[in-house]
C-alpha cells in the first residue's frame, strides 16, 4: 500500500476515509464497465440513426421527385403560352424571375441602406437602433400568410393596386427585408475598421468612405443575403395567393408598358400549388417540382460560393 496520511487533510466527522472510498470505486467500477459500454453503444447508435434518418428523408424526397418528374420535363411544358393541354410552366417561370427582380429592386436598397445606417452612422445601442433591431426580429418571425393578409389589406385593397405582380412584389419585399438587412449588417460589421480609417485618412467623407472602401468588400456577404431572400421568393405561395393572384400569364408589357406590373401573375410555386390542388396534372406537377428543386439547388450553390468568397476576402486582410 501507498503511504497514506489522513491527518494532513481537512477531516470531517464520520466521513468515509479515502481508503473506504477507494474500495467503493473498486467495487463499483468493475460492475459498471459493461453497462457503460452498452450506454455508449446505444447513444452512438442513436446519434448515427438521427443523422441517417435525416439523410434518408432528404434522399428519398429529392430522389422520388426527380424520378417521377424528370421524364415529364417535355418541351410542351416550356411553351410560351399556358393552356390546359400543355400546362406550360414557362409563364410562371418568367413571372417568378420578374417577381424576384421587382422584390429585390425594392428590398435591397432599403435593406442595405438600413444596414449602412446601423453600422456606419448610428450610435450603437441607441433607442432608435434598438427599435430597428426589435422590429426586424419581429418581421423575421412573422409567417408568410400574415404577410399575405397584410398585402391583401394594404397593397391590394387600401392602395387599390389589385391582385397584381406589383402588390405581390411589395409584399415579398417586406418579407425578405429583414433577411437582406441582417446579412448586410453582418457583412458590414465584418469589414475591418482599418478600411474605414484608410478612407478617412485620405480625407474622404463618410459617404465616400462607405461606398469606396467599406461596401466593396462587404458585397459577397450582402449577396449571400440577397440569395437567401431569393430562395424565399422562389418558394413562396401563401403570401402571393391573395396579393399577386393566380393568373397563368406573363404580364403584357408590350401593350401596357410598365402598367403591366399591375396585372395578376402566378409564380412557379403558386403554379405548382394550383396544379397540385387541382389534382389533374400529377405528372406535370412532379415536373414543376423538379424545376423548383433545380432553382433551389442553384441558389444554394450560389450562396455557398458567395460565403466562400466572403471568407476568402477577409482572410487576405
**38 binds another protein, rule: CB under 8 A:** no
First vs last C-alpha separation in the chain = 61
* Residue from the set 63, 71, 81, 109 that interacts with another protein by CB under 8 A: 109
Minimum separation from the CB atom of position 157 to another protein (A): 9
**58 binds another protein, rule: CB under 8 A:** yes
Minimum separation from the CB atom of position 43 to another protein (A): 4
DSSP-derived secondary structure letter, 152: I
Give residues with Cβ within 8 angstroms of 43, minimum separation 6: none
By C-alpha distance, which of 167, 142, 143 is closest to 154?
Answer: 167
Minimum separation from the CB atom of position 29 to another protein (A): 5
C-alpha cell at 62: 429529392
Number of residues that bind another protein (CB under 8 A): 110
**56 binds another protein, rule: CB under 8 A:** no
| Cβ atoms of residues 284 and 87 within 8 Å | yes
* Residue from the set 176, 206, 214, 305 that interacts with another protein by CB under 8 A: 206
Considering only the stretches 87-95, 97-105, 124-132, 191-199, report the one whose residues sit in contact with another protein under the rule CB under 8 A.
124-132
* Residue from the set 176, 214, 222, 237 that interacts with another protein by CB under 8 A: 237
Considering only the stretches 31-39, 190-198, 214-222, 256-264, report the one whose residues sit in contact with another protein under the rule CB under 8 A.
31-39
By C-alpha distance, which of 253, 186, 197, 246 is closest to 221?
Answer: 186
Q: Scanning residues 160 to 199, which ones bind another protein (CB under 8 A)?
A: 174, 177-178, 181
Binding mask 68-107 for another protein (x = CB under 8 A): ----------------------------------------
By C-alpha distance, which of 177, 7, 25, 211 is closest to 107?
Answer: 177
Minimum separation from the CB atom of position 265 to another protein (A): 17
The CB density around residue 87, as the number of other CB atoms within 10 Å, is 23
Considering only the stretches 51-59, 79-87, 212-220, 247-255, report the one whose residues sit in contact with another protein under the rule CB under 8 A.
51-59
**63 binds another protein, rule: CB under 8 A:** no
By C-alpha distance, which of 142, 174, 140, 141 is closest to 243?
Answer: 174
Nearer to another protein, 53 or 101 (CB): 53
Give residues with Cβ within 8 angstroms of 299, minimum separation 6: 227, 230, 231, 234
* Residue from the set 73, 276, 281, 283 that interacts with another protein by CB under 8 A: 276
CA 116 – CA 120 distance, rounded (Å): 5
**242 binds another protein, rule: CB under 8 A:** yes
**43 binds another protein, rule: CB under 8 A:** yes
**296 binds another protein, rule: CB under 8 A:** yes
CA 224 – CA 280 distance, rounded (Å): 38
**Helices 282-315 and 215-235: crossing angle, nearest 10°?**
170
CA 90 – CA 295 distance, rounded (Å): 14
Nearer to another protein, 76 or 135 (CB): 135
C-alpha cell at 95: 413571372
| Cβ atoms of residues 315 and 257 within 8 Å | no
Minimum separation from the CB atom of position 212 to another protein (A): 13
Minimum separation from the CB atom of position 173 to another protein (A): 9
**277 binds another protein, rule: CB under 8 A:** yes
Amino acid at each position: 500500500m501507498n503511504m497514506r496520511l489522513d491527518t494532513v487533510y481537512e477531516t470531517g466527522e464520520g466521513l468515509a476515509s479515502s481508503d473506504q472510498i477507494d474500495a467503493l470505486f473498486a467495487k463499483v467500477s468493475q460492475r459498471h464497465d459493461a453497462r457503460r459500454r452498452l450506454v455508449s453503444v446505444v447513444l452512438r447508435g442513436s446519434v448515427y440513426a438521427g443523422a441517417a434518418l435525416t439523410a434518408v428523408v432528404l434522399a428519398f424526397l429529392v430522389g422520388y421527385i426527380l424520378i417521377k418528374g424528370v421524364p415529364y420535363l417535355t418541351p410542351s411544358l416550356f411553351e410560351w403560352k399556358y393552356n390546359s393541354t400543355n400546362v406550360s410552366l414557362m409563364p410562371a417561370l418568367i413571372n417568378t424571375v420578374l417577381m424576384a427582380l421587382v422584390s429585390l429592386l425594392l428590398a435591397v436598397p432599403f435593406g442595405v441602406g438600413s444596414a449602412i445606417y446601423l453600422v456606419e452612422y448610428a450610435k450603437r445601442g441607441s433607442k432608435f437602433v434598438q427599435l430597428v433591431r426589435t422590429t426586424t426580429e419581429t418581421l423575421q418571425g412573422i409567417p408568410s400568410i400574415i404577410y399575405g393578409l397584410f398585402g391583401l389589406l394594404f397593397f391590394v385593397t387600401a392602395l387599390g393596386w389589385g391582385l397584381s405582380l406589383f402588390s405581390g412584389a411589395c409584399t415579398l419585399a417586406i418579407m425578405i427585408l429583414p433577411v437582406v438587412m441582417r446579412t448586410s449588417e453582418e457583412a458590414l460589421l465584418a469589414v475591418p475598421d482599418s478600411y474605414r480609417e484608410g478612407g478617412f485618412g485620405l480625407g474622404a467623407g463618410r459617404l465616400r468612405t462607405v461606398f469606396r472602401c467599406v461596401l466593396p468588400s462587404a458585397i459577397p456577404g450582402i449577396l449571400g443575403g440577397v440569395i437567401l431572400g431569393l430562395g424565399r421568393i422562389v418558394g413562396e405561395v401563401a403570401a402571393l395567393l391573395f396579393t399577386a393572384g393566380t393568373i397563368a400569364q406573363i404580364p403584357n408589357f408590350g401593350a401596357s408598358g410598365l402598367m403591366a406590373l399591375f396585372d395578376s401573375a402566378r409564380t412557379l410555386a403558386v403554379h405548382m400549388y394550383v396544379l397540385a390542388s387541382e389534382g389533374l396534372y400529377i405528372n406535370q406537377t412532379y415536373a414543376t417540382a423538379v424545376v423548383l428543386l433545380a432553382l433551389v439547388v442553384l441558389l444554394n450553390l450560389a450562396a455557398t460560393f458567395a460565403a466562400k468568397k466572403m471568407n476568402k476576402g477577409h482572410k487576405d486582410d
